[in-house]
Amino acid sequence: MSKPKVIVTVAPTGGMAGKKQNPNLPTQPSEIADDVYRCYNAGASVVAVHARRPDDQATCNPEIYSRINRLIRDKCDIVLNNSTGGGVSGDMLRKLDNGLWELDWQERLKGMDGEGVEMCTLDAQTVCASYGGMEILAPTTPKRTRELAEGMKARGIKPEWEVFSLSDIVQDVGRAIREGLDEPPYFINIVLGVTAFQGALPYTPRILQMLVEHLPKDSVFNVSAIGNAQLPATTQSLLLGGHVRAGLEDNLYYAQGELATNVQLIERTVRLVRELGGEPATPAEAREIMGLRPL
């Protein structure tokens, strides 16, 4: 009997951490591409790309995304998944009159325009992040969800629905699916342990089990967990028949007090997949599982 295929996503950069926290964090296009290629060789089949400016601040600049994507594609056929959240610094931040900050909506839309992008994150809910002494709103109203989803469909991009709580699944993503804003299979990334996000849930086995039980019909799910929750949460995802993500976006450490590299985290995840009877999917197999066009 063939082994179940598991999509292993590498999240190499993210939009929050910097090199001061972990010097192994790749932020510039060539750094990101080289690190992604090493992770591809270790068994990753999808990359969650975040772009950074030359000063390492966050951006959704399509020229920078295109540069990253071209450099990666020159090396391998890994699935390219670009962020429409960007991050909590740089081009993404806009100061409001009421003292709050906001992720600039027009900048977020640019995340769909990178050359070669196959997937984009779609956070269909409104989030308030506390970071660096700021309260940062990321309002993705139903109208904005529709605009993002329709923009992705027009570009031939598959949404990755990022969810942080039960209400995100049953209300926001459920509404979008009922409105026909995506086609099955629906790829849903369950993100747990984001303590900086108001309304986000911690990882516990019962919480993850509950979220999986409420996924829409025809869903393919992935689990991402932050910090020391990464290893147990991804293990449980495999036991529940899901897919997994690892990388410095989610976890800067390999063990307590030991800074990680992306390759270390992916190699450990791949070992876990195999110990539990699975086999890492190739990029071609990942595209088939998620309903993407062949490359």
Report pLDDT for 158. Answer: 98
Has residue 249 been placed in a domain?
yes
Tokens 């179940």 belong to residue: 4
Tokens (6 digits) for 288: 């088939």
Has residue 97 been placed in a domain?
no
Has residue 66 been placed in a domain?
yes
- Residue 171: give the domain boundaries: 5-88+106-125+140-290
CATH number of the domain at 235, please: 3.20.20.70
Has residue 230 been placed in a domain?
yes
Has residue 95 been placed in a domain?
no
Cβ proximity of 246 and 223 under 8 Å: no
| Beta strand ranges found along 132-265 (DSSP E) | 134-138, 158-163, 186-192, 219-225, 243-246, 253-255, 258-259
Report pLDDT for 2. Answer: 85
Walk along the chain (295 residues) and give the pLDDT tens digit of each residue.
Answer: 789 999 999 999 999 999 999 999 999 999 999 999 999 999 999 999 999 999 999 999 999 999 999 999 999 999 999 999 999 999 999 999 998 999 999 999 999 999 999 999 999 999 999 999 999 999 999 999 999 999 999 999 999 999 999 999 999 999 999 999 999 999 999 999 999 999 999 999 999 999 999 999 999 999 999 999 999 999 999 999 999 999 999 999 999 999 999 999 999 999 999 999 999 999 999 999 999 999 9
What element of type H or E holds 52?
A: strand 51-52
Tokens (6 digits) for 248: 């410095």
Residue 122: is it exposed, middle or buried by C-beta count within 10 angstroms (0-12/13-18/19+)? buried
Has residue 132 been placed in a domain?
no
Report pLDDT for 268. Answer: 98
Has residue 295 been placed in a domain?
no
Has residue 71 been placed in a domain?
yes
* DSSP-assigned letters across all residues of 81-93: EE-SS--SSGGGE
Cβ proximity of 52 and 27 under 8 Å: yes
Rounded to 5°, the CA angle 118-102-245 comes to 40
Tokens (6 digits) for 277: 């009877």
Q: What whole-number distance in Å separates Cα of residue 273 and Cα of residue 281? A: 10
Report pLDDT for 70. Answer: 98
User: At 262, is the secondary structure helix, strand, or coil?
Assistant: helix
Report pLDDT for 107. Answer: 97
Tokens (6 digits) for 22: 């972990």
φ, ψ (nearest 5 deg) of residue 134: -110, 150
What element of type H or E holds 94?
A: strand 93-95
Domain total of the chain: 1
